[in-house]
Chains A and B, each alone.
Chain A
Amino acid sequence: MTEMNEEKAIQSQTEVLEKPESQVKEMWEALLENKAAVVGLVIIAFLVLVAIFGPLMMPYDPNASNMGQSFQWPSAEHLFGTDQLGRDIFSRIIAGARISLSVGLAAVLISLTIGVVLGSIAGYKGGWADTVIMRIMDMMLAIPSILLAIAFMAALGKGIDKAVIAIGLVSIPEYARIVRGCILSVKENDYVQAARVIGNRSGRIIFRHILPNVLSSIVVRATLGISTAVLDTAALGFLGLGVQPPQAEWGDMLGRARGFIFTAPYTLIFPGIAITITVLAFNLLGDGLRDALDPKSRKK
């Protein structure tokens, strides 16, 4: 009899159980409250659309040269003007969006995966594993990243896919260091010790108790890392190491147009603006994410 009552009591309690709020949904709502992040998000969404549906929006073939039309100032015919080979800059910028975004994402994915794994091992295990991993990272950091990327490119060969790998490898140390630092600061927390007391294994402690608590810094760094990767791609392109002509890439466009900065400034301005806007959008989103991912700042 009493047992049944208890059962009922538990049931009635379950009914008033607060609806479990999805963490993702909560985070999303917090992100939407941040105006700067929304601006970043809108720009990124726009860029993604351009990257996907670009070919439909291009008024001209971005790679077709037309010497008779070279160095046209922006007009209704050529919105952003034409370059030294008479190619429509507007079309080329649209074509470049796809390359910049995919290179940014792919490079970050490479460095993030390797960096998180290396950083976790170094931070959690400590000892000689930490020493070996972090000294190698220090060696990589000692060389300027673009120089190192060029060295990788020299070893791997030309091409945009090689550029992705080079940029990805070059930024591994940054992620490894951030992850290691975060893990070191979180590792000594009582709740990580508590996780050990109840019998967790190391792997589970890292993935379930430590990484979720350092996720915000990693996600923020990764978002900002996309903008760095976009910039690095542009730099490699500027140096002529990224895409192969005639393919359109913003940095490559800048590099080839730098001789005409006074006679035809529009050939530089528009690719420059495209790079700036993309980098800015990812930075805004990264900052917004940092706030949204912290449950403490989320609920006042």
Chain B
Amino acid sequence: MSEALVEVKNLKKHFTLEHDFFGRPTTVLKAVDGVSFQIKKGEAFGLVGESGCGKTTIGKMLVNLYTPTDGQIVFEGTDLTKLSPAKRREFCKDIQLIFQDPYASLNPRMTIGDIIAEPIKINNLLPKDQIEKRVTYLLNCVGLANHQRNRYPHEFSGGQRQRVGIARALAVQPKLIVCDEPVSALDVSIQAQVLNLLDELKEEFGLTYLFIAHGLNVVKHISDRVGVMYLGNLVEIAPKQELYENPLHPYTQALLSAIPSVDPTKRKQRIILSGDVPSPINPPDGCRFCSRCFKKFDGCESENPVLREVSPGHFVACRLWQEK
């Protein structure tokens, strides 16, 4: 848990929605707009934020589904954004993705055995005769029975399918797994099972996770450190304990107050944010959160604060903490 496995520097992804007559972009959606963080080896880094804040886009840039508009992704010392497509593909086996929707992420025409074996075959990781055994092993790892390998995805439940997706991600022995809301499409009872499975696999294989979720409660279970995103920007990064006990950014405070409490005596004041998330097409100048912030003061509308370390390991991008 020392050196950074992956470091993201000022990462940007802008989607051009409209061009003018000369092909110049006129409407640009800034899904991710200058995000920097690092994930240490063996760590689970949680990334939270509401829908559309760009967290999935970050995940997809890491696994080569999107090409970043600007910025760097440094993986074990190599900047992935500078590589040729063929070279970039070689890093596929180091960074894998677990999808949000287990119903859409498995090819309906392949048996689950084939689905899990495919990444091994494509990357030539094992001789042909050993693939079978490896698939058996992987199936056992994720809690599926070997005799199910010739079945098709539609014969499985959501939780089982997600296990297949996990086994597929594990098949290439990746170093980093991007979990893109892996449990949000599942029943609450199954969520816990899958989260526990992910936790166990992390220990067993020494994995590093980028865990994307839209609620802090799921992330609490699995992450070591948590980053909070709002409208394409990271607003706060802190170790889990610190973030839950001492949230500094007003948005984080509002998010935390929204977690339902099981203990009625501990009901806390909920912070209700007014208004909607501004469109990422024309984000406010200044602080992205200022239009909804309940602690807004003079100057928030014109100056976008940068992440700043206010206590060891605790970064926040808010002008409330900028002066101290």
Give A contacts to B, CB under 8 Å.
10, 13-14, 16-21, 189-191, 193-201, 204, 209, 212-213, 295-296, 299
In the complex, the chain A residue whose C-beta lies closest to that of B121 is A198
Q: Is there contact, CB below 8 Å, between A17 and B147?
A: yes
Q: Is there contact, CB below 8 Å, between B64 and A295?
A: no
In the complex, the chain A residue whose C-beta lies closest to that of B136 is A10
Contacts of B106 in A (CB 8 A): 191, 194
Task: Give Cα A16 to B171, complex, Å.
Answer: 23
Listed from nearest, the 4 A-B pairs whose CB atoms lie closest are: A199-B92, A190-B105, A198-B119, A190-B104
Given A190-B104, A295-B109: A198 in contact with B150 (beta carbons within 8 A): no
Task: Give Cα A195 to B168, complex, Å.
Answer: 10
Dominant SS at the A interface? Answer: helix
Chain B 78-120, CB-CB to A under 8 Å as 1, else 0, gives 0000000000011011001101110011111101000000110
Contacts of A194 in B (CB 8 A): 97, 99, 105-107, 165, 168
Q: Which residue of B97, B108, B133, B151 is within 8 Å of A197 (Cβ)?
A: B97
In the complex, the chain A residue whose C-beta lies closest to that of B86 is A201
Q: Is there contact, CB below 8 Å, between B92 and A189?
A: no
In the complex, the chain A residue whose C-beta lies closest to that of B93 is A199
Q: 10 A-B contacts, Cβ less than 8 Å apart?
A: A10-B146, A13-B145, A16-B147, A18-B147, A189-B104, A193-B99, A195-B118, A198-B118, A199-B123, A299-B154
In the complex, the chain B residue whose C-beta lies closest to that of A14 is B146
Q: Which residue of A10, A19, A191 is within 8 Å of B104 (Cβ)?
A: A191
Given A190-B104, A213-B108, A213-B109: A196 in contact with B65 (beta carbons within 8 A): yes
Q: Which of A19, A194, A196, A201 has most B Cβ within 10 Å?
A: A194
Name the distance in Å between B260's Cβ and chain A's nearest Cβ: 30
Q: Which residue of B93, B96, B101, B133 is within 8 Å of A10 (Cβ)?
A: B133
Q: Is there contact, CB below 8 Å, between B155 and A199?
A: no
Chain B 132-147, CB-CB to A under 8 Å as 1, else 0, gives 0100100000000111
In the complex, the chain A residue whose C-beta lies closest to that of B88 is A199
Name the distance in Å between A198's Cβ and chain B's nearest Cβ: 4
Name the distance in Å between A210's Cβ and chain B's nearest Cβ: 9
Q: Is there contact, CB below 8 Å, between B172 and A198?
A: yes
Q: Is there contact, CB below 8 Å, between B168 and A198?
A: yes
Q: Judge if B149 is at the interface, Cβ distance under 8 Å.
A: yes
Q: Is there contact, CB below 8 Å, between B108 and A18?
A: no
In the complex, the chain B residue whose C-beta lies closest to that of A210 is B107
Q: Judge if B1 is at the interface, Cβ distance under 8 Å.
A: no
Q: Judge if B63 is at the interface, Cβ distance under 8 Å.
A: yes
Task: Give Cα A204 to B123, complex, Å.
Answer: 13
Give B contacts to A, CB under 8 Å.
60, 63-65, 89-90, 92-93, 96-97, 99-101, 104-109, 111, 118-119, 122-123, 133, 136, 145-152, 154-155, 165, 168, 171-172
Contacts of B122 in A (CB 8 A): 198-200, 204
Contacts of B92 in A (CB 8 A): 197-199
Q: Is there contact, CB below 8 Å, between A190 and B101?
A: yes
Contacts of A14 in B (CB 8 A): 136, 146
Contacts of B60 in A (CB 8 A): 193
Q: Is there contact, CB below 8 Å, between A299 and B105?
A: no
Task: Give Cα A17 to B136, complex, Å.
Answer: 11
Given A190-B101, A194-B99, A213-B107: A295 in contact with B152 (beta carbons within 8 A): yes
Q: Is there contact, CB below 8 Å, between A13 and B147?
A: yes
Task: Give Cα A91 to B186, complex, Å.
Answer: 66
Q: Is there contact, CB below 8 Å, between A196 and B136?
A: no
Given A10-B133, A189-B104, A209-B107: A296 in contact with B154 (beta carbons within 8 A): yes
Q: Is there contact, CB below 8 Å, between B96 and A198?
A: yes
Contacts of A190 in B (CB 8 A): 99-101, 104-105
Q: Which residue of B65, B99, B133, B150 is within 8 Å of A21 (Cβ)?
A: B150
Contacts of B165 in A (CB 8 A): 194
Name the distance in Å between B125's Cβ and chain A's nearest Cβ: 10
Q: Which residue of A189, A197, A200, A296 is within 8 Å of B63 (Cβ)?
A: A197
Contacts of A13 in B (CB 8 A): 136, 145-147
Contacts of B148 in A (CB 8 A): 18
Contacts of A197 in B (CB 8 A): 63-65, 92, 96-97
Name the distance in Å between B117's Cβ and chain A's nearest Cβ: 11
Name the distance in Å between A167's Cβ and chain B's nearest Cβ: 31
Contacts of B171 in A (CB 8 A): 198
Task: Give Cα A125 to B313, complex, Å.
Answer: 44
Name the distance in Å between A130's Cβ and chain B's nearest Cβ: 16
Q: Which of B99, B146, B155 has most A Cβ within 10 Å?
A: B146
